[in-house]
Amino acid sequence: MADAVESIIKCAIEVHGSAVLALPGGTTPVPIFRELANRNLNWSGVTLLPTDDRLVPIDHVLSNAGLIRRFFGSTEARLVTLLDDDDGIDTVGYSASRTLRTLRWPLDLVWLGMGEDGHTASILPGPDFEAALNRSSEHRACSVVPDPMPLEAAVARITLTRAALVATRCLILTITGEKKRLVAERAFREGCASTVAIGRVVAWAQAPAVVFWCK
């Protein structure tokens, strides 16, 4: 998996002079981040941002931007966050969309994770689910108050919208375990009619999704 991301970075730098990658949070990408961060790459040409974040300070254990900073902070990559210090639930969607507008689109890679409930990025069940999936492409980010709150990170979120997540040259999904494999397979079969976010995002993808799975 780290080899695939390394190739995407090298290829984007060769073609565009830079590489812009959206990375997942949570637990699944950790071993791959560790391996990738040690690769000898032209990191000064790389911009990294989270696909989504939890509305917590960057030094909080649940922060996805904090996770990226922990692994890639010692490289020369430019690290973009979706949250400003003074952002709250009412302002974060607007300020993250403004930040995202400054990046080069389409992105070179959107790397997604997925929860056992089929959520991807922070497109979680609740009152913001359809907005995160259906907002038009000027709205690249959307605040999300999950309902029910996921037990592993029971906080409000900011997420790239589906329109932003599919605006990418490469789309990768990393999942682990039998349960997630079954959820993903079902969601891919259901496509646009899926009740879970991963099915609806992948059904819209501009690039074919490449899935990395391990037990």
Q: What phi and psi values does residue 72 have, to the nearest 5 degrees? A: -110, 0
> C-beta of 67: minimal distance to ligand LXAUTJHC in Å?
9
DSSP assignment letter at 54 = E
> C-beta of 64: minimal distance to ligand LXAUTJHC in Å?
5
> C-beta of 98: minimal distance to ligand LXAUTJHC in Å?
21
Positive or negative: CA dihedral 55, 57, 61, 64:
positive
> C-beta of 102: minimal distance to ligand LXAUTJHC in Å?
21
Q: Which is nearer to ligand LXAUTJHC, 76 or 148 (CB)?
A: 148
Token duo for residue 88: 């709250």
Q: Which is nearer to ligand LXAUTJHC, 24 or 199 (CB)?
A: 24
Report the C-alpha gap between 209 and 31 in whole angstroms. Answer: 21
Contact set with ligand LXAUTJHC (CB under 6 A): 24-28, 51-52, 64, 113-115, 121-122, 153
Q: Which is nearer to ligand LXAUTJHC, 45 or 141 (CB)?
A: 141
CB neighbours of 208 closer than 8 A, spacing ≥ 6?
A: 171
Q: Which is nearer to ligand LXAUTJHC, 12 or 110 (CB)?
A: 110
Length of the chain: 215
Helix (H, G, I), strand (E, B) or coil at 21: strand
